[in-house]
A and B are shown apart, each in its own frame.
Chain A
């Protein structure tokens, strides 16, 4: 801000020849800017202090108990989906918080990946020379981008629910599980003795793939010869674990869900709330990403494509090796904000009972304990942390793909 500014008329740092003109202290720009900063600082500090005192006084006057002790108390309600062990009888509000955070992260993480994939495909399709493909992509973008997200979540949730049969008339995909209006009941892998070897083989495969790709890149830089690093790496990642799997005598069985009294038992359940929220969030955000991708590609001068074609690159290679790497520099900053939006929008899930952070913690837990100030503060800090971490990661990635100036 103004502190670092040195006004043209101000004292020059190298002014040994002419003495600075005499001005009143208050008219000295440097003094003035410091003065304003200090006044502002004091006002802000006072406001924070006054707000804090006011809040405490009001809570006390209203007779509302406060503090964070409630986090250890027994929650006593049930949660429909939990990635960690959660028992309605004994688990605490602290655990409810963790369950909510994980459920939010899971839907945000998968949603971001899906939205990116769909967004890139639709964005590129909008620029296609094929009339039908580009019009379809345009319709997708205009339709999804202009409807409220909450409405889309409801449409997916209730629309899909009404199409699915009850548990007794489930769609039966045999070994692939069952689908009904209670969710998708997938077979659950049960790993037997020796499965750890498969994991080790997978890690070894990843290491080999990484090594080969670095070596191939170096060699191409040095000699210009290309090496099919992708296929070798792919072979290592898939082949090694497969080999280990066969060697250990196939230590994998599946717990296939079976129809029980009220709903199928066994297997893994993917609840319909999760599916609806995931689909709504990723298709909605993808519409925005598609526009960002299109803008990024259009931002690269036509000359680049023409030059690439002149070099003999095919359309696909042109896109992959010339256009997209340059477009990424334009795409990534706005893409970051779409990722943040998707994560924050996941809180709309309260409407359809998906148990994420806002629903179970800032909703149910808040209502059962009445600790509004504490719970809302924790929830805000959590979303803030998600956003800052996402931003930090994307900024790091942006710096990596940015134009290196020499």
Chain B
């Protein structure tokens, strides 16, 4: 008896001590295992959503594919971990995923208290409200007393609280763990209002029984800069994730697309030559090959292509570029130069 207990305990001990957090050099780990482990949402059309064959697509997914393309020259070298809003940070902190690309809002407390770094903004969003058209409500300021359905563990809950308090309005919050249940409850009439980031509202509206019977109120009550997140303390990996996004934005600005990237290798434009690795040593500085950005653009395209393919006007979501246009077009998407 004693012996069995002892063996069991020792076994448990070995397991417990072996399971320490991931080491600092994420790139080495990723290269060793041959794929990027990427934390995504549990299904948000346009951002990260699996199709019937389990193939993921969306803007957040394309960012992960871009990282894989930069490292392995293969956009398929990614494994996706669907995470709830509640689980996402713990999964990243504990090393379960290498990068979290899951429509996550960059806030100060998340950036400073959780041991995480936000690697740029791949979608500028803001929180909005959706309501049934036949309720005859035209402004969020008329919502006093409403029941509001949302997800737990998000900045959404805090924004609603702030907004209603600032405007001296009452509300009842019904907070679910999974987005599908929020939509189902809203659809069943449990709530008057569904609130989340506007991109999410457009995506979830597609899941309602009668999407046409609902409208989005004009107010945007918060700033929601959404972007990829990595663990603190690994600057090389932080740089890779950051610059994969920047490369897609720079490519759009310079007119480099997945279609013309091969011709662009011959370009005389020094900016393009540096981006595509024809000139300079910009890849080795972040631990990759010099043509890393070429691979990213070749496989997943530039920012404009990614946007158009996943959420743009020709998709079911049909979201306009708006503030996500390039800075040259009056939007906020701006990438530091490669030089």
Query: Does A pair with B?
Result: yes
Chain A residues within an 8 Å CB radius of B89: 367, 370
Min Cβ gap B232→A in Å is 5
- Inter-subunit contact A352/B6 (CB<8 Å): no
Contact A372 B90 (CB under 8 A): yes
B21, A363: Cβ atoms closer than 8 Å = no
CB distance from B206 to the nearest CB of A (A): 19
Binds B, one of A102-110, A219-227, A241-249, A256-264: A256-264
- Closest CB-CB distance, A380 to chain B, in whole Å? 15
B86 proximal to A (CB < 8 A): yes
- Judging by beta carbons under 8 Å apart, are B233 and A80 in contact? no
Given contacts A36-B6, A40-B6, 18 further A-B contacts (CB under 8 A): A1-B2, A2-B1, A47-B9, A50-B16, A50-B17, A63-B115, A65-B113, A77-B157, A158-B184, A181-B190, A261-B145, A262-B144, A263-B147, A366-B153, A367-B85, A367-B152, A370-B114, A372-B90
List which B150-193 residues lie within 8 A (CB) of chain A.
152-154, 157-158, 160-162, 165, 171-178, 181, 184-185, 188-190, 192
For chain A residues 1-52, which have a beta carbon within 8 Å of chain B? 1-2, 33, 36-37, 39-40, 43-44, 47, 50-51
Q: At the interface, yes or no: B13 with Cβ under 8 Å from chain A?
A: yes
Chain A hits for B208, CB < 8 A: none
Q: A64 and B93: CB pair below 8 A?
A: yes
Of residues A39, A88, A164, A353, which shows the largest number of chain B Cβ atoms within 10 Å of its Cβ? Answer: A353
B188 engages A161 (CB within 8 Å):
yes
In the assembled complex, the Cα of A363 lies from the Cα of B173 at a distance in Å of 15
- Min CB–CB distance B176 → chain A (angstroms): 5
Contact digits for B115-154, partner A, Cβ 8 Å, 1 yes 0 no: 1000000000000000000000000000111110100111
Question: Beta-carbon contacts of A169-185 to B below 8 Å, as 1s and 0s?
Answer: 00000000000011000
Q: Is A310 in the interface zone, CB < 8 Å from B? A: no
- Measured CB to CB, the closest approach of chain A to B112, in angstroms, equals 9
Given contacts A54-B20, A368-B153, contact A44 B9 (CB under 8 A): yes
For residue A47, give the distance in angstroms from its CB to the closest CB of chain B. 5
Knowing A181-B189, A368-B158 touch, does A352 contact B93 (C-beta < 8 A)? no
Residue of A nearest to B146 (CB): A262
A77→B158 contact, CB < 8 A: yes
> Is B231 located at the chain interface by the 8 A CB criterion?
yes
Given A80-B173, A262-B145: A161 in contact with B189 (beta carbons within 8 A): yes
CA of A350 to CA of B21, assembled, Å: 28
Cα–Cα distance between A37 and B6 once the two chains are bound (Å): 10
A79 within 8 A of partner (CB):
yes
CA distance A61 to B93 in the complex (A): 10
Tell me if A78 and B157 are in contact (CB < 8 A).
yes
Complex: chain A residue closest to B9, CB-CB:
A43
Min distance, Cβ A296 to any Cβ of chain B, angstroms: 33
Complex-state Cα separation, A61 to B95, whole angstroms: 13
Q: Does B320 contact A (CB under 8 A)?
A: no
B10 interface residue per 8 A CB criterion = yes
User: Total interface residues on A, using CB and 8 Å?
Assistant: 55
CB-contact partner of B174 in A63, A261, A273, A363, under 8 A: A273
Is B173 touching A79 in the complex (CB atoms < 8 A)? yes
B5 at the interface (CB under 8 A from A): yes
Question: Do residues B188 and A353 form an inter-chain contact, with CB atoms below 8 A?
Answer: no
Cβ of A406 within 8 Å of any chain B Cβ, yes or no, is: no
- Are B13's CB and A43's CB within 8 A? yes
**Nearest CB in chain B to that of A265: its residue:** B145
A20 smallest CB distance to B (angstroms): 23
14 A/B residue pairs, CB under 8 Å, sorted by A: A36-B2, A36-B6, A37-B2, A50-B16, A51-B16, A63-B233, A64-B114, A89-B161, A158-B185, A181-B189, A182-B172, A265-B145, A353-B185, A363-B153
B177 touches A351 (CB 8 A): yes
Give Cα A350–Cα B188 distance, bound, in whole angstroms: 18
Which one of B85, B172, B192 has the greatest number of beta carbons of chain A within 10 Å? B172
Q: Chain B 22-35 against A: per-residue CB contact (8 Å), 1 yes, 0 no? A: 00000000000000
- Does A62 reach chain B (CB closer than 8 Å)? yes
In the complex, what residue of chain A is closest to B2 when comparing beta carbons?
A: A36
Please indicate which of the listed interface residues B149, B152, B181, B184 has the most CB atoms of chain A within 10 Å of its own CB.
B152
Question: Do A78 and B190 have beta carbons less than 8 Å apart?
Answer: no
Decide: A350 and B177 in contact? CB cutoff 8 A: yes
Q: Are A62 and B9 in contact (CB under 8 A)?
A: no
Among residues of B, the one whose C-beta sits closest to the C-beta of A47 is: B13
A337-362: which residues lie under 8 A (CB-CB) from chain B? 350-353, 355, 359
Report the bound CA distance from A78 to B152 in whole Å. 11
Answer whether residue A272 sits at the interface, using C-beta atoms and an 8 A cutoff.
yes
Of all chain B residues, the one with the shortest Cβ separation from A58 is B21
B residues with CB within 8 A of A: 1-2, 5-6, 9-10, 12-13, 16-17, 20-21, 85-86, 89-90, 93, 109-110, 113-115, 143-147, 149, 152-154, 157-158, 160-162, 165, 171-178, 181, 184-185, 188-190, 192, 231-233
CB-based nearest A residue for B13: A47
CA distance A353 to B183 in the complex (A): 12
In Å, the complex CA distance between A164 and B190 comes to 9
Tell me if A211 is interfacial: C-beta within 8 Å of chain B: no
A398 at the B interface (CB under 8 A): no
Q: Which residues of B contact A272 (CB under 8 A)?
A: 190
Chain A nearest Cβ from B75, distance in angstroms: 30
The residues in A between 111 and 169 inclusive whose CB is less than 8 angstroms from any CB of B are 158, 161-162, 164, 166
Specify which chain A residues have a CB less than 8 angstroms from the CB of B93 in the assembled complex. 62, 64, 372
Select which of B2, B10, B172 is within 8 A of A2 by beta carbon.
B2
A192 CB–B CB distance under 8 Å: no
Cβ–Cβ contact B2 & A263, under 8 A: no
How distant is B165 from chain A, measured CB to nearest CB, in Å? 5
B161 touches A78 (CB 8 A): yes
A76 CB within 8 Å of chain B: yes
> Which residues from B are CB-within-8-Å of A76?
158, 161-162
Residues of B within 8 A of A162 (CB): 188
Q: Is the CB of B176 within 8 A of A353?
A: yes
CA distance A78 to B147 in the complex (A): 12
**Chain A 62-105 per-residue mask, 1 if CB under 8 angstroms from chain B, else 0:** 11110000000000111110000000110000000000000000
CA of A374 to CA of B41, assembled, Å:
26
Q: How far is the CA of A393 from the CA of B90 in the complex (A)?
A: 37
Query: Chain B residues with Cβ under 8 A from A351's Cβ?
Result: 176-178, 181
Contact A182-B181, Cβ < 8 Å, known A62-B93, A63-B232, A88-B161: no
When A44-B9, A47-B9, A62-B232 are in contact, do A364 and B175 touch as well, CB less than 8 Å?
Answer: yes
The CA of A63 and the CA of B111, in the complex, are separated in Å by: 11
Residue pair A47, B16 in contact (C-beta under 8 Å) = yes
A78 touches B160 (CB 8 A): yes
B172 and chain A: residue at smallest CB distance: A80
Contact between B188 and A158, CB atoms less than 8 A apart? yes
Which residue from chain B places its CB closest to the CB of A157 in the assembled complex?
B185
